[in-house]
Amino acid sequence: MPWYQFINNELDICDPNSYQLLEQAPASANGPYLCAIFADEIPNDPERKPDIEGTPGLLFYIIRALAKGKGQPVSIFPPVPLEVRMSEFPAAGSIENNSEH
């Protein structure tokens, strides 16, 4: 499963221009902003969009992460490990610009 790192804090998982696919977890720090999610891809999707409905429990972890505003919520329970990454700063401009924080 790839990581989906958001750009410009849009959180638009249906728009491939609002996130960047990463093979490894992005560097991040505790904070109130959702930075990235770890999810299955929609099967046979040429744009490799995240399969939110098909990744068990992912929406729960996203909601929990946003509600807490800190920490990196994670689950190691089957059927798949789940993680989200939070950041001290909202995503801005591009992934490269955001990594300077």
The tens digit of pLDDT for each residue in 57-89 reads 777 777 777 776 666 666 665 555 567 787 887
What are the strands of the beta sheet with 19-22, ordered from one edge? Answer: 19-22, 3-6, 33-38, 82-87, 74-75
Q: Residue 27 — very low, low, confident or very high, per pLDDT cuts 50/70/90?
A: confident
Q: Residue 44 — very low, low, confident or very high, per pLDDT cuts 50/70/90?
A: very high
In the predicted structure, residue 101 carries a pLDDT above the cut 60? no
pTM, two decimal places: 0.67
Contact 75, 61 (CB under 8 A): yes
pLDDT at 80: 56
Beta strands in the chain (DSSP E): 3-6, 19-22, 33-38, 74-75, 82-87
pLDDT at 98: 42
